């Protein structure tokens, strides 16, 4: 009963703020999944390339590092949207 009473006391603005926060958190989670898959694929292929051709490892590592950073930018964009809307 107490919980129901507390729910009934929630105003429209509070509800809207709670919805915005949970939606932003959900969006941030979704935004982090894509880059996670991308980085996994990128590093997996790079490791395969380095194991097959160790003499090209320097070139592969450089491009892999830049690729990781570019992919991570997607997650950072999601994070920035989260801090601007959800916090």
Residue 49 CB-half CA count within 13 A: 15
Strands (E), 1-87: none
- CB nearer to another protein: give 10 or 80: 80
Query: Does 27 participate in binding another protein (rule CB under 8 A)?
Result: no
Q: For another protein, what does the binding mask look like between residues 50 and 69, x meaning CB under 8 A? A: xxx-x--xxx-xxxxxx-xx
Burial class of 44 by CB neighbour count within 10 A (0 to 12, 13 to 18, 19+): exposed
Least distance to another protein, CB of residue 44, Å:
7
Query: Does 20 participate in binding another protein (rule CB under 8 A)?
Result: no
Question: Is residue 65 within 8 Å of residue 15, measured between CB atoms?
Answer: no
Binding site for another protein (CB under 8 A): 32, 35-36, 39-40, 43-44, 47-48, 50-52, 54, 57-59, 61-66, 68-70, 72-73, 75-77, 79-81, 83-84, 87
């Amino acid at each position: 009963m107490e919980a129901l009473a507390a729910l009934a006391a929630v105003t429209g603005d509070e509800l809207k703020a709670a919805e915005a926060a949970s939606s932003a958190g959900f969006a941030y989670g979704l935004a982090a999944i894509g880059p996670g898959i991308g980085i996994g694929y990128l590093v997996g292929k790079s490791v395969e390339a380095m194991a097959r051709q160790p003499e090209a490892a320097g070139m592969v590592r450089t491009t892999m590092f830049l690729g990781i950073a570019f992919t991570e930018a997607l997650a950072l964009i999601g994070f920035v949207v989260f801090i601007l809307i959800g916090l």
